Amino acid sequence: MTPSVDEQTAAQKLFSPARLGAVELENRLVMAPLTRIRADEDGVPTEAMVSYYAQRASLGMIVTEGTFPVGEGRTWIGQPGIETDAQIAGWRRVADAVHAAGGTIVMQIMHGGRIGHRLVSTTGRVTAPSALAAPGQIRTPEGKDEHPVPHALTTEEVAETVAQFAAAARRAIAAGMDGVQVHGANGYLLHEFTAPSTNTRTDQYGGSPENRARLSVEVAAAVAEAIGADRTGIRLSPQHNIQGALEEDADDALTTYRALAEGLAPLGLAHVDVLHAEPAGELVQTIRRTSGAPLIANTGFSVQTTREEAVSLVAEDVAEAVGVGRSAIANPDLARRWELDAAENAPVPETFYVGGERGYTDYPTLEATAETGQN
Ligand SMILES: Cc1cc2nc3c(=O)[nH]c(=O)nc-3n(C[C@H](O)[C@H](O)[C@H](O)COP(=O)(O)O)c2cc1C
């Protein structure tokens, strides 16, 4: 069926350039941060990672997988870091390859907090706002184990965490990244401070919505100070209710994220990336309006992002750009496929978190599919 003129105009906006702070995007499709567990056991990016990210350079901006700022914040073996010289050198190869292919790339800096294990943390310690274990189990080099009861960071140690994020951001820029995205989402360290179920602190980082939002704001401010606000973004997932980081009281969530966005507002960040099922709703639009930062919308895990949804989010000015996860895993040339409204490869979840090239760098492009006649 030939698309109507209205549909064509709506789609054009998704494929038009945008600026997120200092980063110039050729189109408004952002590769969402996606953990793939293909670094080596020292957290050094591998050659397969260089190919994988370079293959996806036609998306307007790539956000890397969650990358640990310090080994104590490592959640999985095979996760990359940005702490050592070898890790910086590995990421330099990734950034250079993406730039050579005409793309842009920012690094998601992720401290795992209580989603960790003493056999994975390089200090043997797992930290969090409060000494509360996450539900469920975690993969360790010796098989699955219960999540540990974490060490509750002291107020002084919280200040060290802020400095660790800033130092990691400087190293990301030294590795050639176009910017950094602070991971404040999905039940990891910063989100554990924001969510009331994971934070029972009584110092200035616990209790009131402003206090719970404080660490994310301080980290964003320190990173912005270190590398420039126009290269700094943050990811949030209000009411995602994952990994025991629960925000089930809607009024409290709105107040907390408004406080967080008010704290971000004076910084002038490059983007806020919000994972939420209703990007047009009050919560997400309050964050957007209050922070004043361009919004990358991602509708979350329950349904895979579609072309149609991405087109309408941008055409209807719900967001400046759209984060795409699983379709970007399965389609190295997703921008082209969506521009042509062509068929997509389906992602293979069994290969998401295992090592190797299968299900990583071997998804075919449209041309390769046409040649083999497969889809
Ligand atoms: C394999 C996989 C790994 C992910 N890793 C991360 C991550 O490292 N950091 C993060 O913020 N979100 C992560 N996510 C969430 C995605 O960024 C995204 O929000 C989610 O996949 C929903 O978008 P989609 O429907 O377009 O896939 C991950 C999702 C998947 C499927």
Closest residue to atom 24 of ligand 1, CA basis: 325
Backbone φ and ψ for 139, nearest 5 degrees, come out as -80, 135
In the chain, the domains with their CATH numbers are 5-372 (3.20.20.70)
Q: For 9-63, what is each residue's pLDDT tens digit? A: 889 999 999 999 999 999 999 999 999 999 999 999 999 999 999 999 999 999 9
Q: At 61, list the tokens.
A: 């901006």
Q: Say how far apart CA 229 and CA 166 lie, in whole Å.
A: 12
Give distance in angstroms: CA of 145 to centre of ligand 1. 23
Q: What is the pLDDT of residue 209?
A: 98
53 is catalytic: no
Cβ of 186 below 6 Å from ligand 1: yes
Percent of the chain at pLDDT above 90? 94
Q: What is the pLDDT of residue 1?
A: 53
Give distance in angstroms: CA of 34 to centre of ligand 1. 5
Choosing from 52, 53, 188, 360, which is the catalytic residue?
188
Q: For 312-341, what is each residue's pLDDT tens digit? A: 999 999 999 999 999 999 999 999 999 999
Cβ of 305 below 6 Å from ligand 1: yes
Res. 374: pLDDT tops 80: no
Q: For 209-242, what is each residue's pLDDT tens digit? A: 999 999 999 999 999 999 999 999 999 999 999 9
Cβ of 63 below 6 Å from ligand 1: no
Cβ of 115 below 6 Å from ligand 1: no
Q: For 140-165, what is each residue's pLDDT tens digit? A: 999 999 999 999 999 999 999 999 99
- Please state, rounded to an integer, the average pLDDT across all residues of the chain: 96
Give distance in angstroms: CA of 325 to centre of ligand 1. 5
